Chains A and B, each alone.
Chain A
Amino acid sequence: MPPRLRKVALTIHIIVSVGWIGAVAAYLVLDVTVSASEDVQTLRAAYLAMDLVTQWSILPLAYATLVTSLIVSLGTKWGLFRHYWVIISLVLTVFALVILVSEARTISSLAEAAADPATPDERLRSLPGTLLHSVGGTVVLLVVLVLNVYKPRGMTAYGWRKQQEQRTQSPP
């Protein structure tokens, strides 16, 4: 990938991936609110906001992060399977995305119940949050962030083979 295009791809990747973490932080505030609040108006508003943040911010940013991470890794010297930190980051990102897609359905159902004026107040108060998943998701995203910043040493067998091939092919 040409250097200029690589920089553009990396910039977009940083924007969407950090944006994903920021959107999850906003979601966490709402999730804590529905877990702690007893006020019906607050609960209704929070469940609806959780759904909106998930559908229009977290999910698109998560998909964009996965796509841009593939572009950046395949378009640079790091590759996709050459370094352990890249593979682990990819696995964790895919795992987080799968759980997120699954949770998004739950969140939509909760928002539907909250939006329904016929939902009794007591039932609204007994609706669950998704705190375990959102805290777990945040931890996973922060681990990926740390891996991407520190890029710990460790080359895979495939990466080592490729490196040897390049060394033998390159002129002395």
Chain B
Amino acid sequence: MAPKSPARRLKRWVIVALWVLAGVLVALSPTFGRAEPSGEYRPPLPPDALTNGCYPLPEGVTFDFPYQVRSDGDLGGLRILVVQYDLIDQDEAVEAVTESFLRAGFAETPLAASAPGRDDARRFEFAKGSISVTGSAIPLVPLKDDQLVRGTLRLALPVVERQSDAAVCSDATSTKRFTQDGDQGGAP
């Protein structure tokens, strides 16, 4: 092997020294304290709009099928809630919604024959005392077999006051009340 030039030897020593320095710093690093990442780019997923205790469904109704709330807000004296249902089809969704309301003491109301709406919509109506709820389930188009999100429920409910002053109730990403009619932090 040819003898190494001084410049090469120097380069080699510099590299060795840098590695040693890196090793020492790594070994000592636990004594320097811990860094504190903010986690801001991966915030915890806010709780679902119907279970966060802010604007519950009437009479303690709960949904026990997979869904996500898309929007919530008051319009013309009614609360308009838009929910997508997952994994189940239109009939099952209507069945599940019906079950939820019946469980809370509502009764099904016969539908008027000539109600307006889309051809593929299945409408429903429930009542309990003076409270009445109307809505429809519309499948997404196109609807592939393995598609998780399968359709949209639109519910017209009685307007509900904000039930809590918790911070989450001012968080529109949780309440899904984005419009001016909704609540983004002001008084209800």
Q: Do A and B originate from a single complex? A: no
Q: Give B contacts to A, CB under 8 Å.
A: none
Q: Which residues of A contact B (CB under 8 A)?
A: none
